[in-house]
Amino acid sequence: MVLIDFFTKRIRTKIVILFLFVSIIPLLIIGLIITPMSRKTTEEDAYSKLRAVGFKKEMLSLGDSVKDYVQNYLEKDLHLGEK
């Protein structure tokens, strides 16, 4: 029934309908391919940033440890010099 209606329409209507099908199908295919790729890229970027933040916190913690060690060493050295 739909196919019969298609053949009875005017040429302009047929061209518009065909143009829509020809343009929509590639867009759908591209969308189906690109969406998972962009999701994966976004996740990888988020994990990379999380690792960078974790590394920065680890380095800050290490820096505090070194600072505490140096302060304790200097305090011990000063106390030894007083005796």
Q: Which range marks the domain in which residue 27 is found?
A: 2-82
Q: Say which amino acid occupies 70.
A: V
The Cα 67–Cα 61 span in angstroms is 10
Phi, psi of 32 (to 5 degrees): -70, -30
* Residue 82 predicted with pLDDT over 60: no
* Rounded distance between C-alpha atoms, residue 40 and residue 64, angstroms: 36
Write out pLDDT tens, residues 3-37: 566 666 788 888 888 899 999 999 999 999 999 88
Q: Is the pTM of this model over 0.75?
A: no
Map 40-73 to HEC letters: HHHHHHHHHHHHHHHHHHHHHHHHHHHHHHHHHH
What's the number of domains the chain is made of? Answer: 1
pLDDT at position 81 over 60: no
